[in-house]
Structure 1
Amino acid sequence: MAVQKRANQADIAERLGVSVSTVSRALANEMGISDAVRRDVQRMARSLGYKSKHITGPTGGDKRAVALVPLGNATSGLSGFYFGIVEGMRQQAAEAGMMLDVRLVNDQMVTLDMIRKQIDQADAGGLLLAGIDAWDELAAWCAQEDIPAVLVNGSDPRMRLSSVSPANFYGAYLATQRLLDAGHRRILHYTHRYRPTILQRQRGFEAAIAATPGAQGIIVNTADRDSRGLLADLLTGKHDVTALFCWNDIAAVEMLESIYAPDSPLPKGFSIIGFDDLPLAGMATPRLSTTRVDREAIGRGAVRLLSQHMEGEGAVQQLEIGVSMVEGETVFAAISSPV
Structure 2
Amino acid sequence: MATSRRPSQADIAEQLGVSVSTVSRALANEIGISETVRRDVQRVARMMGYRSKHMRHAANPDKRALALVPLNSAIGNLASFYHGIVEGMRAQAAEAGLALDVRLVNEDLVTVDFVRRHVAKTDVGGVILAGIDPDEAMTSWAEEAGIALVLANGSDTHMRLSSVAPANFYGAYMATKHLLDNGHRKILHYTYHHRPTIRQRRRGFEAAIADCPGAEGTVVISNENSSRQLLLDLVAGKYDVSAVFCWNDSVAVTMIDTLLGPDSPMPPGFSLVGFDDLPIAGMASPRLSTVRVDREAIGRGVIRLMATKLDGEMAPLQLEVGLTLVEGETVHRWEQAQS
TM-score by length of 2: 0.84
Change (3 A) 1:39 1:315: closer
SS of match in other structure, 1:160: coil
Q: Who is 1:226 aligned against?
A: 226
Check conservation: 1:42, 1:60, Cα contact below 8 A.
no
CA distance in 2, matches of 1:153, 1:75: 17
Counterpart AA for 1:129? L
Check conservation: 2:46, 2:312, Cα contact below 8 A.
no
Check conservation: 2:51, 2:59, Cα contact below 8 A.
no
Change (3 A) 1:44 1:199: closer
Is 1:327 matched with 2:327?
Answer: yes
SS of match in other structure, 2:231: helix
Q: Who is 1:171 aligned against?
A: 171
Displacement, 1:273? 0.6
SS of match in other structure, 1:238: coil
Unaligned segments of structure 1, at least 5 residues: 1-15, 24-31
Check conservation: 1:61, 1:123, Cα contact below 8 A.
no
Q: Who is 2:198 aligned against?
A: 198
Q: Who is 1:315 aligned against?
A: 315
Counterpart AA for 1:313? E
Counterpart AA for 2:233? D
Render the CA deviation track for 1:196-222: whole Å, top value 9, x for unaligned.
011110000000001111100000001
Counterpart AA for 1:200? Q
Percent of residue pairs bearing the same amino acid type: 55
CA distance in 2, matches of 1:64, 1:148: 11
SS of match in other structure, 1:276: coil
Change (3 A) 1:139 1:61: farther
Q: Who is 2:15 aligned against?
A: none
CA distance in 2, matches of 1:201, 1:304: 25
Displacement, 1:337? 4.5
Render the CA deviation track for 1:2-30: whole Å, top value 9, x for unaligned.
xxxxxxxxxxxxxx9859x959xxxxxxx
Displacement, 1:121? 2.0
CA distance in 1, matches of 2:118, 2:267: 53
Q: Who is 1:146 aligned against?
A: 146
Q: Who is 1:11 aligned against?
A: none
Q: Considering only aligned residues, what root-mean-square deviation do their CA atoms show, in Å? A: 2.6
Render the CA deviation track for 1:112-147: whole Å, top value 9, x for unaligned.
111111212222111111001132111111111111
SS of match in other structure, 2:255: helix
CA distance in 2, matches of 1:190, 1:338: 23
CA distance in 1, matches of 2:201, 2:47: 44
Counterpart AA for 2:308? Q
Tell me the number of residue pairs that the alignment of Structure 1 and Structure 2 aligns. 306
CA distance in 2, matches of 1:130, 1:311: 21
Change (3 A) 1:114 1:44: closer
Is 1:181 matched with 2:186?
Answer: no
CA distance in 1, matches of 2:225, 2:85: 30
Counterpart AA for 1:232? L
Change (3 A) 1:60 1:242: same
Change (3 A) 1:237 1:93: same
CA distance in 2, matches of 1:337, 1:265: 19
TM-score by length of 1: 0.84
Q: Who is 2:252 aligned against?
A: 252
Unaligned segments of structure 2, at least 5 residues: 1-19, 30-37
Displacement, 1:265? 1.0
Q: Who is 1:160 aligned against?
A: 160
CA distance in 1, matches of 2:166, 2:131: 12
